[in-house]
Structure 1
Amino acid sequence: MKHWIVESDVDNNKSYPQIVDAAKVLQQNEVVAFPTETVYGLGANAKSDCAVEKIFEAKGRPSDNPLIVHISNRDQLEGLVAEVPEDAASLIDAFWPGPLTIIFKNKKNVFSEKVTAGLPTVGIRMPDHPVALAIIEASGLPIAAPSANRSGKPSPTTAQHVIDDLEDRIAGVVDGGETGVGVESTVVDCTGPSPIILRPGGVTKEQLEEVVGKVEVDPSLKEGKGAPKSPGMKYTHYAPDAPVYLVDGTRADLQKLVDIKKEEGLRVGVLTTEEFVNDFQADVILSVGRREDLSTVAQNLYDTLRTFNRSNVDIIFSEMFPEEGVGLAIMNRLQKAAGYRVMKG
């Protein structure tokens, strides 16, 4: 596997040698991991069946789980989607480039059906990362790119995470340092009468509503039923090796659960925040960020879940967070990591 190291503030141009090399590999219908502002993506030519199939093979990803297509400039949309509704145009003006994926009605015979999972729609975003934009621009292709991890595992926020998961499975990784947002993009369906959030992420519901008014949240987001219209809707994701349980209660309630499992001879981990890291007694206690600033929790969440894998814990108990702002995305990822297992205090 090739490992290209690129400064994260590289200008968006085609002449940077590592960018050129990575783009050529993508043009050859191979898969390449690269940083975005959210997590590392695993990119391939979105128009090629054989290229996209390599994403699914590398990740072990279910074939009915659609992929998000990444572009480097808004002008590319015209050749990829059937129309750009008014709400979608407003959201693009406000949040592109950035951590927002918009669902459009796709043009026929443009994308591999493996990208859309046979749906008449496609999710597209423009990442806010100079390395990602430079690679996409240099390739001249729309790039399908889910997170660059084994399916179901925590998403990668560093190139080393990618190497740990996919070293023998992909052509290369462009190392642009640690990502910023830490959780994936928000996915909003703009094909109906009003926008609907299919996956919460880096752009909050409140921010969306400032631009387009009332925005709904798809109820199947938590139910996980039916064919997924967006990545992250159906399958268990983001899970470390040890089972995770969310604790709906006080810190004292969480400690009681820890004590019970320790008495059973288990090695117990606790996922908490900086403010409360000294309030627990367990085998491994990890702070995921500051409760008073949930953006730090979003940024550190996946790395913290991966750190538990190196601690050999048997079970993990996690605090819960308010489902407001980026907390909605944090709880979505934690619920997926826990398989919706919640212990009442």
Structure 2
Amino acid sequence: MQSDMSELELALARLKAGELVAIPTETVYGLAADAANLDAVARIFALKGRPADHPVIVHIASSQQLNDWALGIPADAWKLADAFWPGPLTLILRRQPHVLDAITGGQDTVGLRAPSHPLTHELLKRFGGGLAAPSANRFGHVSPTRAQHVRDEFGADCPLVLDGGPCEVGVESTIVSLIHEQPTLLRPGGITREAIEALLGKSLTHHTDSGTAKIRTSGLLDSHYSPRTHLVTGEYAHLQPAITQARANGEKLAILSFGPWAGDAATSAIHEMPDNPSEYARLIYDKLRQIDRQGYTIIFLQLPPATPGWLAVNDRLRRAAHTRI
């Protein structure tokens, strides 16, 4: 459901007054504050329970604002912004001196992106500056992809939520660092590695391949995006014995299967997930949140294929899992 114009104006007024507003993007809902207001940014960290040295991404209306936040911008950054903005791509660049340390975690880099959701795009155009906007959830929990998720997450502490409907992408933005000659993929997301490499005409280093990433940025912690319910992930052959044992122990089980579940479904709730990575990404956080509310003690998740098209989904599932078999 689109918020009406009065809600947009109210959100704008609150942001300018240094308050927080939950905003829709094509990826997940963000908890937004004026990125140039130190007290406002501090409110994000306090409400989320986010570590002070964990940087946040600055959301802007378009590439016309890049120079306001970054310096020494390389040609590759302009190419990527022209091709994929507005959209689910974050660029890591050298920061302008005035950018708050609270935004960057004290680093000399800043993450920037221009979201494509029409409601937030209009908000950003009217706001004129940048909005710090990590996901609108308690730190480490499943990201919200619906306005109600935000309300459920924060309860009585919930700020104004602009309801822009369900998020189309469903997982967080792709993050690419452009501070060295060789671009580095820090986090896979809605823009694929292959699309970026095709545009730039060069290969991306992946920080997990090289082990050389020194940049702290959103979503790189080993444990992140986790449901409250204990989540166990693995391939079918590895999960089935663990499921049998959990049943014997009297656990209340939910199973997220990749396609039809081949095993015994007795005493378990089976949720068949799509075999399309884009559709899977759009649904997974909502599904985990649904199961969290239903009193299960363990979620068993059958992993999708470890192929390039599933890179972003598998990245999130690896970090969300409490146990990996």
TM-score range (shorter-chain normalised) is over 0.9
Match of 2:220 among 217, 226, 233: 233
- After superposition, what is the alpha-carbon deviation per residue over 1:207-243, rounded to whole angstroms, capped at 9, x for unaligned? 111111201111289x8x9975210112521111122
Structure 1 residues 204-213 or 116-125, which shifts more? 204-213
Match of 1:99 among 74, 88, 92: 88
The runs of at least 4 aligned residues of structure 1 exceeding 3 Å deviation read: 225-228, 277-280, 323-326
Q: Does 1:215 align with 2:200?
A: no
Structure 1 residues 299-308 or 231-240, which shifts more? 231-240
Q: Does 1:119 align with 2:107?
A: yes
C-alpha contact (below 8 Å) 1:24/1:139 kept by paired residues: no
| Cα distance between partner residues in 1 of 2:16 and 2:306 | 41
Q: Does 1:58 align with 2:54?
A: no
Structure 2 residues not aligned, in runs of 5+: none
Q: Which amino acid is the alignment partner of residue 319 of structure 2? A: K
Match of 2:166 among 178, 187, 190: 178
Q: Does 1:301 align with 2:289?
A: no
C-alpha contact (below 8 Å) 1:320/1:331 kept by paired residues: yes
- After superposition, what is the alpha-carbon deviation per residue over 1:172-221, rounded to whole angstroms, capped at 9, x for unaligned? 11011111000010000011011101111111111111111201111289
Q: Quote how far apart the aligned CAs of 1:146 are.
A: 0.5
SS of 1:165's equivalent in the other structure is helix
* 1:334 alignment counterpart: 317
* 2:297 alignment counterpart: 314
| Cα distance between partner residues in 1 of 2:179 and 2:88 | 19
Q: Which amino acid is the alignment partner of residue 240 of structure 1? A: P
SS of 1:168's equivalent in the other structure is helix
* 2:253 alignment counterpart: 268
Q: Which amino acid is the alignment partner of residue 278 of structure 2? A: S
Structure 1 residues not aligned, in runs of 5+: 11-15
SS of 2:318's equivalent in the other structure is helix
Q: Which amino acid is the alignment partner of residue 39 of structure 1? A: V
Q: TM-score, normalized by length of structure 1?
A: 0.88
* 2:242 alignment counterpart: 257
SS of 1:276's equivalent in the other structure is coil
Q: Which amino acid is the alignment partner of residue 165 of structure 1? A: E
Q: TM-score, normalized by length of structure 2?
A: 0.94
Paired-residue identity, %:
37
SS of 1:179's equivalent in the other structure is coil
Q: How many residue pairs end up in the alignment?
A: 323
| Cα distance between partner residues in 1 of 2:209 and 2:97 | 27
| Cα distance between partner residues in 2 of 1:235 and 1:166 | 24
Q: Which amino acid is the alignment partner of residue 99 of structure 1? A: P
C-alpha contact (below 8 Å) 1:201/1:326 kept by paired residues: no
C-alpha contact (below 8 Å) 2:150/2:158 kept by paired residues: no
Q: Quote how far apart the aligned CAs of 1:321 are.
A: 2.0
Root-mean-square deviation (CA), in Å?
2.0
